Structure 1
Amino acid sequence: MLDWLRWVIIALSLLLAIVGYLDFRGAHAPRRPTLVLAAAGWAAVVVQAVVAVVALVRGDRPGEFATFIGYLFTTLLMVPAAAYFRAVERSKWASVAFAIAGVTVAVLMMRLDQLWRS
């Protein structure tokens, strides 16, 4: 996994969480900055996942393989799940979904790094 990309993902995810929370507090459905941050963060997560899968295919293995794979899939699914919720529920609660997705992805990226190094 790429260290610099992990930090970019964590920063984008936490920023997404903050913007999603601010949209919620302002009683807004997710606005353009929220969606742009979500798209950029998800693109970075996809790149990191591809890097991780290539490393796994080359023979590198994290300490807890099954947990690593589960966390990797979860990071890939969080932002699309929030986007789906936005498509279904166009209210301030969709902003909460993006805030939750941002926090979850940031925490899981830190945990993925811990597993990869163990």
Structure 2
Amino acid sequence: MVEGLTTTIQLASLAMAAWCLVSVLRNQPMVVPHLVGIGLLWLLLLGQGVVSAVQATNDTRPAETAVFVSYLATVILIPPACAVWGLAERSRWGPAVIAFACLILPVMMVRLEQTWDPTIV
């Protein structure tokens, strides 16, 4: 895993969550810029997934491979799932779904780092 990319993902996710929470407080539905933001976040997650897969096929492997792969798959699937759910919900709760998902992603990224290198506390 690339620590700098992980930090970027965490910061982008928290910024996206804050932006969506502002939309919720303003009683606004999900709009195209929200989709663009979640799409960019998803691209960052895909990049981390590709880098992790390449590193795992080389000499560097996570300590708990099955757990790592399941967390990585979940992290990569969260943004598209919340985008579809947010689009389906045409009230202010559409951005709330994205905000909730974006608050979960940083925690899951920390867990991914912990399963990659168990010495990280």
- In 1, Cα distance between equivalents of 2:3 and 2:33: 25
Q: Is the 8 A contact 1:17 1:99 kept in 2?
A: yes
- In 2, Cα distance between equivalents of 1:58 and 1:109: 21
What residue identity is the alignment partner of 1:31? V
* Alignment partner, residue 7 of structure 1: 7
TM-score, with normalisation over the residues of structure 2?
0.89
What residue identity is the alignment partner of 2:84? Y
* Alignment partner, residue 53 of structure 2: 53
Q: Which moved more, 1:7-16 or 1:80-89?
A: 80-89
* Alignment partner, residue 62 of structure 1: 62
Q: Is the 8 A contact 2:42 2:76 kept in 1?
A: yes
- Percent of pairs identical after alignment? 32
Q: CA deviation at 1:44?
A: 0.4
What residue identity is the alignment partner of 1:112? L
* CA RMSD between the two structures: 1.3
Matches within 5 A, 1:7-86: 7-86=7-86
How many residues align? The count is 118
Q: CA deviation at 1:36?
A: 2.8
Q: Which moved more, 1:30-39 or 1:49-58?
A: 30-39
Can you give the 5+ residue segments of structure 2 that lack an aligned partner in the other structure?
none
TM-score, with normalisation over the residues of structure 1?
0.91
